Amino acid sequence: MKTGTLGEEILALQARLDELGATQRKTEQADEFLREIFAMAERVKDHPIAWDEKTIRQTVECVRVLSSEKLLVIFRGEMEREVGWREKWD
């Protein structure tokens, strides 16, 4: 089932390749952003910090309760991390 000339197909494939490249760059930027967040979280995990609502809303998509001892934090960009929290306050 032919729908166009070879030149049109090449242009369509080039456009798709450009879209995929842009998507890959966005994914790489999101990955780098999340790596920075995790590194920062690791540095401050045993130190009290002030709650910053704006920062939390910009970085966290949602938090799910998995059990009485575990939370699942879902960051923007589809990255997830399980967090045990009961041991800190018991």
Domain edges within the chain: 6-89
Q: What is the pLDDT of residue 77?
A: 78
Q: What is the pTM of this model?
A: 0.42
Residue 42 is given by DSSP the state H
3-state secondary structure at position 74: strand
Q: Across-strand partners of 63?
A: 73
In whole angstroms, what is the distance from residue 90 CA to residue 86 CA? 6
3-state secondary structure at position 12: helix
Q: What is the pLDDT of residue 45?
A: 73
Name the residue with tokens 């729908």.
Answer: 3
Residue 10 is given by DSSP the state H
In whole angstroms, what is the distance from residue 87 CA to residue 25 CA? 39
Residue 14 binned pLDDT confidence (cut-offs 50, 70, 90): very high
Segment 69-83 shows an average pLDDT of 84
Segment 48-77 shows an average pLDDT of 84
